[in-house]
Chains A and B, each alone.
Chain A
Amino acid sequence: MSLRLLGVNHKSAPVELREKLAIPERNLAEATRQLAHHPGVREGMILSTCNRVELVTAHDNAAPDLNLFLEQYFSLEPASLRPHLYEYSEQDAMRHLFRVASSLDSMVVGEPQILGQVKQSYSVARQVGAMNGELDQVLRRALTVAKRVRRETRIGNTSVSIASVAVELAREIFGSLAGKTVCLVGTGKMGQLAARHLMAQGASHLLLSNRTTAGAELLAAELGAEVLPFEQIYDRLDAADIVITTTGSSEPIFRREHGQQLLQRRRNRPVFFIDIAVPRDVDPAMAKLEGIFVYDIDDLQNVASQNQIGRNEEASHAERIIEREVERYKESRLSLDPVPSILAVQRSLELVRQLEFARNAARLAGMNAEQRKAVDDLTRGLLNKVLHGPMVALKAAARDGDEEAMRAIRLALAGDSGDGASEDDSAKGGAD
């Protein structure tokens, strides 16, 4: 059985094309079913995320035309699609799949969502009966490899976006965010994103303050926040543990004296200022106060960049793990190749047949050449008929990855389990 993978991703295709190829979750089962019934496809799976659409198939004989499937399913012209497609087969397909599941091929290397998306696609393919043999094993191996990469490297341990870096820093100051109050000053997009992230990570209360109350009320309703009138901000800011500022003010709105007042009111409990505004809303002198931690956009970006460098270093470690896993899988596939076992069984039983002929040479001596040929054909045919069932079982066991069954059949018929199979067996098998 052979593997083939065809797809587009964020590196090979523009978003306009990826949008056209995206398969909604509700349609994934039907699309996978259609792929499994596409001519030449034995097993199939579709991975569809916002950054990639990939078809993974296993086939027996001639490779299926997966380009045709994409063109037909999405009703697209070949000329608009083919320049953006990439295609892998066999070991390269497997390597690509391992890399995708391990998040090495993602737009943000190390992001955790892709593993869940691969699991989802795998689960759908199994549900619709599109996966039940070797591809199933490859996918299971891909999931195991991805978990190993997560476990043995720190590829996903750090944050690389501004919003997630802000959450990470808040955790490093406060530990758990449960019970913490966030105050969003201004209505900038990045500030909103950071506030949403902090709330999603467990912060319990959100205050929203803006110079124009109308804008604040609208956004507060959307975010589930309490509106803090801008004129009361210095009096009530002590309720906030984390302050995100993103106003368009040309002068700092939080100065050192505000910080001192704040610390006094909070009985020196720490405050974390996330200053995303340009020009900055928080006077840098405030960062010198003990108990106040100020990170502006550049500081957050620096942390994100350092984390990204760390991730890239971990990614090279992950690549080595994947290469080893691909080799291991290739070796295990070779050991499951049924041809050496078939040849061993055939050779062994042919030897038995030849020995029986030699043992009965005296009794067959009276026969003419035609009669001798008839006996030869008869015994050979008998042997082939008897071996047909075990040979089919041997091939099925190899396809299902059932090494134990293969060993048992070979032991019963050829007298050896194949553990110490000679190298020329494998070589012959590979050549065949």
Chain B
Amino acid sequence: MGMSLLWLRVAVVLYGASALVAGWTTLRQGTRVRSFLQPLLIGGLLFHFVSLVEVLNNNHHWMPMAVHELESLLGLLLAGLFCWSFYRYGTVSLGMFVLPLVFLLTLAPAIGPDFDTFFSPRLRNGWVLVHVALVLAGYSALILSFLSSLLYLLQEQRLKSKHAGGSYRWLPPLDTADQISYRMLLIGFPCMTLGLLTGSLLAEASTGPSYFGDPKVILSFAMWLLYVFLLWTRRSAGVRGRRAVYLSCFVFLVALSVWAANSLSTVHRFSLP
């Protein structure tokens, strides 16, 4: 077992413990256990980062060329963004959903061999890493924004129903959920924009202008335009609350369909000859 795998397994254990602490703190409102969350999470992030750097450096000259490596990178970005939101807003309840996801995303690379590897020599380009990392950061921000939006809807419904003493006491404050959702969109936007830009330039350089006729590429740009519209409505038109949350969820679902289209489509797949 290489050292990178050992570091990754340590990170998985720390993420698992963080997920348990987040769940316990949220549901039992245990303030004592809460203090363990930050050190566990930071520990997990450090070990995870070291492991990923070692893997990318040793195996593929900085290219995430395997599905497990992409999962691991997505997990790292999600954990990092959650860590930031926890530090900024002090809300643990989001972690109850994000951290188990991070745990699962890192568990697969930590225990099983990778069956799906991209061998295309065209991937041997430093800009591909930039493209992949930026797009994944954009997706991570969208995932957190989506989860936070769902919590917003639950909290709003709870407060409107006037049964505030019920069992959903663990939900984050309405304004905090709204702010996290918005901040994540703001963080995700430049990442997604630059990710699409680098990806487009790389694709154009390798396959020519025909690339832009691909339906999945068109869908990607449609998603980006929707993203711009969402940010504009929030910033300029003052759309907040439920309508903003619905829009945010819609952008996430479109982004998810773009991801699915990219995974399922056989057009411009680098893994194919």
Contact = CB atoms under 8 A, between A and B. Distances in A.
Contacts of A269: 240
B239 A174 contact: no
B165 interface: yes
B241 A306 contact: no
Contact of A172 (B164, B239, B240): B164
A309 to B, nearest CB: 8
B174 A270 contact: yes
B162 A291 contact: no
Interface stretch (A13-21, A151-159, A194-202): A151-159
Nearest to A287: B160
A322 to B, nearest CB: 20
Given A267-B238, A293-B160, A175 B165 contact: no
B159 A172 contact: yes
Interface string B187-219: 000000000000000000000000000000000
B166 interface: yes
Contact of A310 (B30, B165, B175, B240): B165
Given A172-B155, A268-B240, A269-B240, 8 more contacts: A169-B159, A172-B171, A174-B174, A175-B176, A290-B241, A302-B165, A303-B164, A303-B165
Interface string A264-278: 000111100000000
B162 A172 contact: no
B89 interface: yes
Contacts of B173: 171-175
Contact of A157 (B29, B89, B175): B29
A173 B174 contact: yes
Contacts of B162: 295, 299, 302-303
A122 B89 CA distance: 38
A113 to B, nearest CB: 19
A172 B154 CA distance: 12
A6 B206 CA distance: 90
16 contacts: A151-B32, A157-B169, A158-B169, A171-B173, A172-B171, A173-B173, A173-B175, A174-B173, A175-B173, A290-B241, A290-B242, A291-B240, A299-B162, A302-B165, A303-B163, A305-B165
Most chain A Cβ neighbours within 10 Å, of B29, B162, B240: B162
Contacts of B159: 169, 172-173, 293
Contacts of A103: none
Interface string B148-168: 000000010001101111100
Given A299-B162, A307-B165, A268 B29 contact: no
Nearest to B163: A306
B239 to A, nearest CB: 7
Contacts of A268: 238-241
A194 to B, nearest CB: 15
A149 to B, nearest CB: 13
A137 B273 CA distance: 79
A169 B164 contact: yes
Contact of B241 (A291, A299, A302, A305): A291
A262 to B, nearest CB: 13
Contacts of B30: 151
Contacts of A172: 155, 159, 164, 171, 173-174
Contacts of A270: 174-175, 241
A158 B163 CA distance: 13
By DSSP majority rule, is chain A's interface helix, strand, loop, or mixed? helix
A349 to B, nearest CB: 50
Interface in A274-320: 287, 290-291, 293, 295, 299, 302-303, 305-307, 310
A290 B241 CA distance: 7
Contacts of B165: 158, 302-303, 305-307, 310
Contacts of A306: 163, 165-166
Nearest to B156: A290
A305 to B, nearest CB: 8
Contacts of B172: 175
A267 B236 CA distance: 10
A287 B159 CA distance: 11
Lowest 4 A-B CB distances belong to which pairs?
A306-B165, A267-B238, A175-B173, A268-B240
Interface string A169-183: 101111100000000
A146 B155 CA distance: 32
Contacts of A310: 165
Nearest to B159: A293
Contacts of A154: 28-29
Nearest to B30: A151
Contacts of A303: 162-165
A299 B162 CA distance: 7
Nearest to A310: B165
Contacts of B174: 172-174, 270
Contacts of A171: 173
B169 to A, nearest CB: 8
Contacts of A174: 173-175
Nearest to B29: A157
A172 B160 CA distance: 12
Most chain B Cβ neighbours within 10 Å, of A168, A268, A306, A310: A268
Contacts of B160: 287, 293
Nearest to B177: A175
Interface in A378-421: none
Most chain A Cβ neighbours within 10 Å, of B155, B169, B242: B169
A267 B240 contact: yes
A205 to B, nearest CB: 17
Nearest to A159: B165
A296 B243 CA distance: 26
B230 to A, nearest CB: 15
Nearest to B244: A268
Contacts of A169: 159, 164
Nearest to A295: B162
A245 B56 CA distance: 62
A175 B89 contact: yes
A270 B238 CA distance: 12
Contacts of B238: 267-268
A2 B64 CA distance: 73
Nearest to A154: B29
A290 B238 CA distance: 13
Interface string A3-39: 0000000000000000000000000000000000000
A310 B169 CA distance: 12
Interface string B242-262: 110000000000000000000
